[in-house]
Amino acid sequence: MDTISLTIPPKTIYLKSMRLLAASLASDIGFDIEEVEDIRVVVSEAINYKMSDRDIKINFYTKENLMKVEVIGKDREIEEENLKIKQIILEQLADKVEVVEDKIILTKEK
């Protein structure tokens, strides 16, 4: 499994770059266009959830039929209703969603 690790400041201007990287990696390992869009959305939602006052670490793990993304950082303050919506989006678009301490781990398989 290949690993790409990045750390970004908690600024929304870097979100577009992370979405593009996620989409590019997913496309390169053979995901179809709908799956690529799903990955792009879940990465964006997870990073947005971690937009606090601390840097965000993002690990992309790829292999032939699988992409896993870890988003590590401090949770931002968010209203309960918006949190539920984000969780529903993540669970509907990713094959597996894990929340472990300060990490959101997203898995998508072909």
Q: In 15-79, which residue ranges form alpha helices assigned H by DSSP? A: 15-28, 33-49
- Residues listed for the chain: 110
Average pLDDT, the chain: 93
- Please tell me the predicted confidence (pLDDT) of residue 83: 74
Nearest-angstrom CA–CA distance, 66 and 35: 11
Task: Quote the DSSP letter at residue 29.
Answer: T
- Please tell me the predicted confidence (pLDDT) of residue 81: 76
Q: How confident is residue 85, by pLDDT bands cut at 50, 70 and 90?
A: confident
Is the pLDDT at 78 greater than 80, yes or no? no
What domain count does the chain have? 1
Q: Which domain holds residue 53?
A: 2-109
**pLDDT single digits (tens) 14-50:** 999 999 999 999 999 999 999 999 999 999 999 998 9
Residue 71 three-state SS: strand
Is the pLDDT at 99 greater than 80, yes or no? yes
- Please tell me the predicted confidence (pLDDT) of residue 31: 97
CATH of the domain at 27: 3.30.565.10
pTM of the full predicted structure? Answer: 0.89
How many helices and strands (H and E) does the chain possess? Answer: 3, 5
Element (H, E) at 2: strand 2-8
